Chain A
Amino acid sequence: MTANEILDMLNGILYTTGVANFDWKLIVMWGIGSLFMYLAIAKKYEPLLLLPIGFGIFIVNFPLVPLMGFSHEGHAELLRIFYHYGLEWEVIPCIIFLGLGAMTDFGPLIANPKTLLIGAGAQLGVFVTFTGTVLAGFTLKEAASVGIIGGADGPTTIYLTQHLAPQLLGPNALAAYSYMAMVPLIQPGIMRLLTTDKERKIRMRQLRPVSRTEKLLFPLVTAGIIALLVPSVTPLMGMFMLGNLMKESGVVGRLTDTAQGSLMNIVTIFLGISVGATMHASKFLSWKPLFIFGLGLVDFGVCTAGGILTVKIMNLFLKEKINPLIGSAGVSAVPMAARVSQVQGQKYDKTNHLLMHAMGPNLAGVIGSAAAAGMFIAMFD
């Protein structure tokens, strides 16, 4: 072999490495991925999702990595397969809702169905943010997908975004899960601002016991009503109610355990890494993701305010008043938002236990955000 041939060979090897194809923007994405992994590991902010998302961001932002593209033969690469079958086909959000339904006890909501209205009122931020996003120059579909972040429901955000604006999947999902984890930081100030001392001390009557039959009928009635009124979100809510029916029936323990356990864990891994993998520097580093993060915060704030204001309006007509601190739990970060209501309530009255009361609007918020998503899908279908 001549020296030239050896040099050519070495050149060829060098140009197939990532080093020769490096770009400074990738370092920024490594930083972003590392930040989310740090938040997950050190701060324990939504670790089940932020860890794989953060790692997904990190690993796809290396040059020439065969992860999110197509091979020379035209086959999808590893993370592209997860993304295509899990997210593009909108399968993963529905399976996550199956698992969530299998974990959820709707007793507090069934015992006090008035709290459904709080779940509806807490979607105010979704529509307000839509307006702000359109003003900022986003298209209507993009605005709808950004607005739903305030619903604080990860699978619903992913479902709607994939449907209307898949190019925003990464920033929207990241904003949704990040702010969900920061609910204890975002909500208390707003709750104090919008309530008086007297209102914060309102005691609510203990919730009535809920029979097994009621809990069995609830998923059927809910699935039926959603299917009739907002059919576009039936895949999501249908799976949610199936999971809940499995749980409440008590006769399919193995299926319930699988749905809320191993199945949920498997899809969470695929979800996290697929969402992270969509955030390549070439797509992510623009003004839009930063704007989405900023708007997401406003969205959460307005949704919190919407829930509290709904309670205050309801109290004008009710004999038995509702403590407005549970209004903020209409933001469906289950059960974090309900815990925030409990903690805030106890600051003003240590004997006032609001957790179970707050679970009602918390669960209603899940249905409310799905209904809002259905409204947006219907707007464009």
Chain B
Amino acid sequence: MKKKAFLMGTFWLFIAMIPGFAIAEDFLGVPLIPGAKTVLKTKKRIEMLSPLQHDKVVEFYKKAFKNLKDIRIRDWPESTYIEDDSNNPWHSVTISKKQHQGMTSIVIVKDNWTWIMGTLILRFIGVFVVLLCLFAGMSIYGAILFRTTKKAIPAKK
């Protein structure tokens, strides 16, 4: 009996010592943090709640992605946003900083054309905005110069 208990204990200790991501599942190639509860899962998105603190979750994913190129980690006020700029099937991992009932929210999103087209359209409009601002600047200083010259001409007369 004691021997059985000892063997069971050793077995579970061994299991607990294996690094989490080695036995974790994955979603589109992104390892799922062990112990996290899946709240929503579709083909394009997975939302999970993890009992780990935000910093531990970020550490986990930094380790998981350390060999990947073109990964950007953005520190936003409400969350940490990990984005893939290469051609992996996943687009981003968002790890919330605010805890919900003592749990950290993790959202993994599939690479999607909506994001790409959306950002392209916004940036194309952005080019117009920049040049419109320049247009406005030129119009303003043009008007100022015109009025200055107009005042100067009667003064000369």
Q: Which positions in A face B, CB cutoff 8 Å?
A: 110, 113-114, 116-117, 119-121, 123-124, 127, 130-131, 134, 137-141, 211, 213-214, 217-218, 221-222, 224-226, 229-230, 364, 367-368, 371-372, 374-376, 379-380
Say whether B135 contacts A117, CB under 8 Å: yes
Complex CA–CA separation, A114 to B127 (angstroms): 14
Give the complex CA separation of A17 and B123 in angstroms: 52
Asked whether B138 is an interface residue with its Cβ less than 8 Å from the other chain, the reply is yes
Q: A113-B138, A225-B137 are in contact. Are A368 and B123 (CB under 8 A)?
A: no
Q: Is A221 within 8 A of B123, CB to CB?
A: no
One of B116, B121, B130, B138 near A134 (C-beta < 8 A): B116
Q: B14-22, B55-63, B139-147: which lies at the A interface? A: B139-147
B87 touches A372 (CB 8 A): no
Closest to A118 in B: B131
A361–B13 Cα gap in the complex (Å)?
71
Chain B nearest CB from A259 CB (Å) reads 23
When each residue 57-85 of chain B gets 1 if its CB lies under 8 Å from chain A and 0 otherwise, what string results?
Answer: 00000000000001010000000000001
Residues of B within 8 A of A371 (CB): 126-127, 130-131
Q: How far is the CB of A165 from chain B (nearest CB, A)?
A: 10
A140 contacts B85, C-beta separation under 8 Å: yes
Chain A contacts for B134, CB-based, 8 A: 113, 116, 221-222, 225, 367
CB distance A367 to B131 under 8 Å? yes
Q: Give which listed residue, A114, A141, A368, contacts B70 with CB less than 8 A.
A: A141
For the residues of A in contact with B, the DSSP-based class is: helix
Please tell me which one of the listed residues A117, A141, A380 contacts residue B132 in the complex, with CB atoms under 8 A apart.
Answer: A117
User: Is B135 in contact with A114, judged by CB distance below 8 angstroms?
Assistant: yes
Closest partner residue, chain A, to B130 (CB atom): A371
CA distance A134 to B121 in the complex (A): 15
When distances are taken between beta carbons in the complex, the residues of chain A under 8 Å from B142 are 110, 113, 214
Complex: A368 Cα to B134 Cα, angstroms = 11
Q: Are B124 and A213 in contact (CB under 8 A)?
A: no
Nearest opposing residue in chain B for A134, CB measure? B116
Residues from chain A with a CB closer than 8 A to the CB of B87 are: 134, 137-139
Whether the Cβ atoms of A124 and B124 lie closer than 8 Å is: yes
- A364 nearest CB across to chain B (Å): 7
A372 to B87, CA, bound (A): 22
Contacts of B121 in A (CB 8 A): 127
Q: Which residues of B lie under 8 Å from residue A229 when comparing CB positions?
A: 129-130, 133
Instruction: For residue B149, give the distance in angstroms from its CB to the closest CB of chain A.
Output: 8
Question: What residues on B are CB-neighbors of A213 within 8 Å?
Answer: 145
The answer to whether A127 and B130 touch across the interface, beta carbons within 8 angstroms, is no
For this complex, 5 residue pairs linking A to B, each with C-beta atoms less than 8 Å apart, are: A117-B128, A120-B127, A222-B137, A364-B131, A371-B130
Task: Check if B38 is an interface residue, CB within 8 A of chain A.
Answer: no
Instruction: Judge whether A116 and B126 touch: CB under 8 Å.
Output: no
**Residues of B close to A140: CB separation below 8 A:** 70, 85-86, 116
A380 with B123, Cβ < 8 A, contacts A139-B85, A140-B85 known:
no
Question: Cβ of B127 and Cβ of A123 under 8 Å apart?
Answer: yes
Chain A minimum-CB-distance residue to B87: A139
B85, B86, B123: the one contacting A127 at CB < 8 Å is: B123
A364 to B128, CA, bound (A): 11
Docked pose: A230 CA to B130 CA in angstroms: 8
Q: Is the CB of B131 within 8 A of A368?
A: yes
Q: What residue of chain A has the Cβ atom nearest to residue B122's Cβ?
A: A375
B120, B128, B129 pick with most chain A CB within 10 angstroms: B120
Are B130 and A113 interface neighbours, CB within 8 A? no
Chain B residues within 8 Å of A134, by CB: 87, 116
A337 to B116, CA, bound (A): 31
**Additional A-B contact list (14), CB under 8 Å, known A221-B134, A371-B131:** A114-B135, A116-B131, A116-B132, A117-B128, A124-B124, A127-B123, A141-B85, A221-B141, A225-B137, A229-B130, A367-B131, A375-B126, A375-B127, A380-B72
Q: Is B40 an interface residue (CB 8 A)?
A: no
Contact partners of A120 in chain B: CB under 8 A: 127-128, 130-132
Query: What chain A residues lie within 8 Å of B138 (beta carbons)?
Result: 110, 113, 116, 218, 221
Report chain B residues within 8 Å CB of A117: 128, 131-132, 135
Question: In the complex, what's the smallest C-beta–C-beta distance from A200 to chain B, in angstroms?
Answer: 25
Residue contact A225 to B133, C-beta cutoff 8 Å? yes
- The answer, yes or no, to whether B119 is at the interface (CB within 8 Å) is yes
Measured CA separation A121–B120 after assembly (Å): 14
Bound Cα distance A211, B145 (Å) = 9
Q: A131-B120, A139-B70, A375-B127 are in contact. Are A380 and B133 (CB under 8 A)?
A: no
CA–CA, A207 to B112, complex, Å?
A: 47
B1, CB-defined interface residue at 8 Å: no
- Chain A contacts of B137 at CB under 8 A? 221-222, 224-225
> 3 closest pairs, A vs B, by CB?
A375-B123, A116-B131, A371-B130
Residues 82-124 of B, flagged 1 when their CB comes within 8 A of A and 0 if not, give 0001110000000000000000000000000000110111011
Alpha-carbon distance A124/B72, docked complex (angstroms): 27
